[in-house]
Homo-oligomer: A and B are copies of this chain.
Amino acid sequence: MKTAILSIGDELLLGEVVDTNSARIAARLADAGIATARKLTVGDDEGAIAGALESLAREHDVIIATGGLGPTDDDVTARAAARATGRRLVLNEEAMARLREFFVRLGREMHPANGRQCLLPAKAELIPNPTGTASGFHLLLDGCLLIFLPGVPAEMAVMLEETVVPLVLARRGGYQCTRTSTLTVFGLSEAEIGSRLSDLDRSRPGFAVAYCVEYPVVQVKLRATGADEGALAALLEDMAALVRERLGGHVVAGDGETIDTTVARLFRETGMTLSLAESCTGGLVAARITAISGSSAYFLLGAVTYANDAKARLLGVSDGLLAEKGAVNAEVAKAMARGARRLAGSDLALAVTGIAGPDGGSPDKPVGTVFIALADRAGCTAKGYHFSGDRDRIRTITAVTAMDWLRRRLLAG
């Protein structure tokens, strides 16, 4: 069965709105084992919509369209559907009855313009909209099932779940589904990961691997398609284990996790506490740690010591060291970590100091030079890095590297 998604709206062609509806529909269909063959976006133009419906209907069995069912003049989808299918627009009595009910439930008077939303192509089947005024509908064009939904994401989602998915599944018959497992990888390039996993792809029927770069991590997506959900889950588990074997400690998060939630989980599991001392990341690491609900249980304090004076006063980094060696070196990173640990009384303390740029670099210490240090009961270790990119990228990869230090330390127990 070939399925297409048609998104309708001038705001999409102007790039004012990102099309989340089509992603949501595609994801829901994929969960039900239905592949989307293509997605198309056209504006609020009757001719363009009708033309898109006619050409998609020639090559697909199902088209799910969203948008253009509102009460204003620029909403022309129903008229375009009537034109494409050679029908008249008529007042749909069921839609009108439901709309009246809707306003009674709301305790509000119906605006006359809303009546326009009940003008649907003759003999269209209604798709109820329990949370809004725009009814959906479906009808056939040359054997292709055309489905129309409003563009308001929350309304669309309810109608997709309640009516559209069952409708499409009934049309297809024969159950098949796709399951995805995502592993997050840090510290290896996409090319390196691809080469280590190149034999996995298509090594089993119905199995595929895809890569998605979300700087600075790469997501490895394992996908399995078939009729037996239990078998798919087992296959994905086997494949995920194989990927972990091949990529080792570079897999920083499993399915449904991020490196940040992984670190949060490890803090909860180990009962360790944390303090931070940040210079070039300027609070980014603390912001990532505290983005996770429950972080107050293990995160005691963070010091954003941007000025040298703050490093000395807050963390007890010696003025002599700062004067002699500057703020960006392993000794200062270590002194910051020790100072934060002392100040907070935490089990672990992580410190970051570096040059995020674009200014502040020197031939000796170019922009991107970063030192990270971690102090615990046993002592303190530090390491230097040379990252590349603009200020934003250097800060981001430094913060993720810091999270990875915490992850590895917590795993070590």
Q: Interface of A with B (CB < 8 Å)?
A: 7, 10-20, 22-30, 35-44, 48, 52, 70-74, 105-107, 111-114, 131, 133, 152, 154, 178, 180, 189-195, 198, 201, 208-213, 215, 221, 223, 276, 278, 280-287, 289-291, 293-296, 299-307, 309-310, 313-314, 343-345, 356-360, 386, 388-389, 391-393, 395
Contact of A19 among B19, B223, B278, B389 (CB under 8 A): B19
Q: Looking at chain A's contact residues, is the secondary structure mostly helix, strand, loop, or mixed?
A: mixed
Q: Are A27 and B39 in contact (CB under 8 A)?
A: no
In Å, the complex CA distance between A314 and B314 comes to 8
Contact check, B41 vs A14: say whether CB atoms are below 8 A apart.
no
8 A-B pairs closest in CB distance: A282-B290, A15-B27, A283-B286, A15-B26, A302-B304, A283-B283, A72-B194, A301-B310
Bound CA span A71–B105, Å: 56
21 example contacts (A-B, Cβ-Cβ < 8 A) are as follows A14-B27, A14-B30, A14-B178, A15-B23, A15-B24, A15-B27, A40-B41, A44-B210, A71-B190, A71-B191, A72-B193, A113-B195, A152-B213, A278-B286, A283-B287, A283-B289, A291-B392, A295-B306, A300-B309, A301-B305, A304-B304
Since A112-B191, A300-B307 are in contact, a sample of 11 more A-B pairs with Cβ atoms closer than 8 Å, ordered by chain A residue number, is A13-B39, A14-B26, A15-B22, A154-B215, A282-B295, A283-B286, A286-B304, A294-B359, A299-B307, A301-B303, A302-B306
Contact of A215 among B29, B38, B152, B386 (CB under 8 A): B152
